[in-house]
């Protein structure tokens, strides 16, 4: 069942809101990393235990940053697909992705069945071992 114009409108609004929010978060992250460069965090004490905590924090920051960036990229793709009229169409099988799925996963490009199959066959760089 195709999305109604109202549903598309709602999803477009959500995408734009989320993009704006992510951009603000990413800008904040960039400013924080300037204010607290890794060196000062690690250099604050000379205990090697603290250094590994600083390492850990830096890694976590990176992980969060790349998650945000990946989401922003997904939303950008979603926005372009919306402009092109292909938003909400599964890229693998061409069926309509349900509105409910899109609402919770704005950047979804596959229907649930294809996504499940994709995740089984592709353990991409986004997959974490944790």
Binding site for Zn ion (CB under 5 A): 90, 92-93, 111, 114
Nearer to Zn ion (CB atom), residue 8 or residue 114: 114
User: What span, in angstroms and rounded, lies between the C-alpha atoms of 82 and 57?
Assistant: 37
Could you tell me which of 15, 2, 4, 26 has the C-alpha nearest to residue 104?
15
Nearer to Zn ion (CB atom), residue 50 or residue 92: 92
Give me the least distance between CB of 99 and Zn ion, in Å please: 15
User: What span, in angstroms and rounded, lies between the C-alpha atoms of 73 and 76?
Assistant: 5
Nearer to Zn ion (CB atom), residue 54 or residue 88: 88
The secondary structure of residue 4, as a DSSP letter, is P
Give me the least distance between CB of 114 and Zn ion, in Å please: 3
Give me the least distance between CB of 106 and Zn ion, in Å please: 17
Return the biggest CA–CA distance within the chain: 62
Helix (H, G, I), strand (E, B) or coil at 96: strand
Give me the least distance between CB of 102 and Zn ion, in Å please: 13
Nearer to Zn ion (CB atom), residue 42 or residue 89: 89
């Amino acid at each position: 069942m195709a999305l109604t114009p109202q549903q598309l409108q709602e999803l477009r609004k959500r995408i734009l809101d989320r993009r704006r929010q992510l951009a603000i978060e990413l800008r904040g992250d960039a400013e924080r990393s300037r204010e607290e460069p890794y060196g000062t965090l690690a250099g604050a004490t000379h205990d090697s235990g603290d250094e590994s905590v600083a390492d850990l924090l830096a890694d976590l920051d990176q992980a969060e940053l790349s998650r945000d960036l990946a989401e922003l990229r997904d939303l950008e793709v979603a926005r372009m697909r919306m402009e092109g009229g292909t938003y909400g169409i599964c890229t693998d099988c061409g069926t309509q992705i349900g509105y409910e799925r899109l609402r919770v996963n704005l950047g979804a490009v596959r229907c649930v069945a294809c996504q499940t199959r994709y995740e089984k066959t592709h353990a991409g760089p986004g997959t974490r071992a944790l």
